[in-house]
Structures are given as structure tokens and as C-alpha cells.
Structure 1
Amino acid sequence: MILDHLRSIDDPEDQSFLNDRSLSRMLEDTRQRGFAVREGGEFRPKTSSIAVPILSSGRVEAMMSMIWIRSALTLDAAIRAHATTLHKIAQAI
């Protein structure tokens, strides 16, 4: 539903993320990691984020994300320090 909505808006800035090849690669990387990442640049260049799924009966019902200022923390440091905790919180929810 979200992808259909983004496609219907037809924002030129979203097009590079919505093409089938880029989207497939991004989704596969996310599945392998178990969480999504945003390293800045493509949306809000001064911030990065990680997001974990909140599942119900094996279905993604929501996402929980953490956003930070890139100059304060690298993506790798944030993953090391917070990904496990975010997963535990998502499981508890």
C-alpha cells in the first residue's frame, strides 16, 4: 500500500527508489539484515536511521525507527549500539 501511494504521488525525487531493480535490492538487503537503514543523503542529508519491523502473526504491522544526527553517530556505531535493543522492543510490542 505504501509503495502504491508513493507511486501515485509521482514525486520525481522518489523515482530512483521505486524502480523495480533498486526496490528489489533494497528489500532484499533489509530482509537479510533484519532491519532497514537510511544513511542520509537521499532524504534528510544530516540524519540517518534504522528501523525494525513490528510483527503480528508473521505480518509487518508497523515499524519502529531511530533517527539521529549523522555527525553525532555513524551508522555502524548505531547498529552495534541499538539494533538489538530495537528488535527486543519490537518483539515486546
Structure 2
Amino acid sequence: MMLNYDAPLYRPPSEARSLIFQVTLGCSFNECSFCDMYRSKQYSERPWDEVKMEIDLMAKQLPDTRKIFLADGDALNLDSEYIVKIVKYIYEK
């Protein structure tokens, strides 16, 4: 079983070999005149239970993963404690 991404999912070229965890959906601002990447999605933060389940799944299926990317358009908009919780959990796995 693989991850089910909420499309569209944009992978930066620098993350070509990264495992992507979609911890947010869309962009929190989503009004830039130069960007329409996430116009089809309303911004939301994924619940911990869903994120944790996907981390657990990928830890079993891809145990040698060394590079992770937190997506979607605005993953760093999450509360810093939540980001730390996600990163610590990934590191433990």
C-alpha cells in the first residue's frame, strides 16, 4: 500500500528523491497573483492520527528512506509544536 495524495501534489525538483508526507493541504494564503498552484484546494491541516498512520506505514514499507519532504503548499504554516512532533516521530521511526 502506498500513500494517497490529495492532488495536485507539487514536488520541488530538489525533492525528487524524497518521500513526501502531505501534512497540510493547499496554501494558507492562496491569493498570490503569480501563483495558482493550489487554487483547487482549500487550506487545511491534516490531523495527527492520519499523519502518524502514514509515517508508520512508510516506515514499514520503506525503512531505508533517508530524505523526507513535508508538503503541501504551506507546511511550515503549522504550529511549531506540531511540526516538531511530526519530525520527532519520523526520526524515531
TM-score normalised by structure 1 residue count: 0.32
Question: Of the two, which has the highest radius of gyration?
Answer: 1
Say which structure, 1 or 2, has more relative contact order (CA 8 Å, 6+ apart): 2
Structure with the largest fraction of strand: 1
Structure with the largest fraction of helix: 1
